Amino acid sequence: MSKIAIIGGGITGVATAYELAKLGEEVVIFEKNYFGSGSTFRCATGIRAQFTDEANIRLMKYSIERWEKLEEELEAEIGFRHSGYLFLATSEEEVEAFKNNIKLQNRFGVPTRLIDMDEAKEIVPPLNTEPFLAGAWNPMDGKANPFKTLFAYLMKAKELGVDAREHTEVVALEREGDEITAVKFRSNGKVETVKVDAVLNAANAWAPLINEMAGLRRDIVPIKAYKHQLVKTEPLERGQAEPLVCPPAWDDAYIIQDGEDGGIICGAGIEHKARSLNDYEPTYDFLRGVLKYAVKIAPPLRYAHIVRQWAGFYAKTPDKNPAIGKLLDNFYIAAGFSGHGFMMAPAVGEAMAEFMTKGRSRVPLDWEWYDPYRFERGELRTSAFQIG
């Protein structure tokens, strides 16, 4: 048994801590703020296998299979349901692109199909069908509660002996050759050191700072934080917009009914590079922009009250695919998840835990596709459609 340190207490770090503990490892996880306080508790709840490349489709098909069993495994409610994703096409070119994506998804067992607007209206009753030609519908996509999911993982991880340190910031790493030997952390103003056998950088938007602590270039994995915002309406009767509904041609705008209180969450790719890693201030520009799209998608939304607006980070690599793999002999990274880190966590946590302990994994995760050194080699993957 070795001692493994995880830096970052979002869904990626916590899911990996749980999986490592399940394999019998001794794990300590550091979170500088409170667990979930990074991007995880700000996310839009969406989970989908409707990607446009083999690697992400296969990973997410597997992840959804894990999501289905997670409540039973973690013995806690997490609010997962197959509520579907409905992408909407506004032009003939998009319909053709949808057909190609569907063919690829079907090849890997994802049951997406092209639907007409009559069927779309049955699925989303307030939908404005007029601007749209067709929809790509996968009823097996879904959503879950980020708060409940993170705490379910965390509680089980603690039960299995994980040492979970909240309000504890990693401030330095000690390195000998190509190995990290110790982690320095600050808690209650006091700096302490713990000897470790391996380290996982799960700090997402903050990951470049951790890489620098490991003696690597900050941009060895070029992750940049973009401010991504959401607004939410008052609770509405269930069944209005249960799937995530998105016409990609409209700035990636989307609506999805919160699985808990029925409020409609409205998002869009109206985003800016964050001014700093504390730049959480919501903007009026976004509010105006996103609501314009939301009422075009579902006109009755014009009568709903907005009760919340918030911002978080999409931590993005240049190709919007995460960096997952090894950076040094015993220093690993799983970060840069753009709009997909929540949905991928059950698969990524399991894959990472197996990879760190056995050097391989049964999870269908394409290590070459997500290789953190691909940017150094000047390689970019097909850009992953970024929204949640």
Q: Give the footprint of ligand FAD on this chain (CB under 6 A).
A: 7-13, 30-33, 37-40, 42-46, 169-170, 202-206, 228, 230, 312-314, 335, 337, 339-343, 388
Token pair of 14 as six digits? 């916590």
Closest to ligand FAD by CB, 134 vs 205, is 205
For the beta carbon of residue 377, count every other beta carbon within 10 angstroms: 8
- Please answer whether residues 291 and 306 qualify as being in contact, where contact means their C-beta atoms are separated by less than 8 angstroms: yes
Q: How far apart, in Å, do the first and last CA atoms of the chain sit?
A: 36
Q: Are strands 134-138 and 85-89 parallel, antiparallel or unpaired?
A: antiparallel
Q: Are strands 224-235 and 306-316 parallel, antiparallel or unpaired?
A: antiparallel
Token pair of 222 as six digits? 């070029």
Minimum separation from the CB atom of position 88 to ligand FAD (A): 17
Spatial neighbors of 223 by CB under 8 A, at least 6 apart, are: 204, 205, 207, 208, 315, 316, 317, 323, 335, 336
- Please answer whether residues 264 and 257 qualify as being in contact, where contact means their C-beta atoms are separated by less than 8 angstroms: yes
Minimum separation from the CB atom of position 99 to ligand FAD (A): 25
Closest to ligand FAD by CB, 33 vs 193, is 33
Minimum separation from the CB atom of position 344 to ligand FAD (A): 6
Unique residue bearing structure tokens 């490892």: 25
Per DSSP, the three-state class of 65 is helix
Minimum separation from the CB atom of position 327 to ligand FAD (A): 16
Minimum separation from the CB atom of position 305 to ligand FAD (A): 20
Closest to ligand FAD by CB, 9 vs 243, is 9
Q: Provide the 8-state DSSP code for 299.
A: G
Closest to ligand FAD by CB, 7 vs 301, is 7
Closest to ligand FAD by CB, 29 vs 134, is 29
Closest to ligand FAD by CB, 11 vs 20, is 11
Token pair of 365 as six digits? 């995760």
Q: Provide the 8-state DSSP code for 373.
A: G
Minimum separation from the CB atom of position 25 to ligand FAD (A): 19
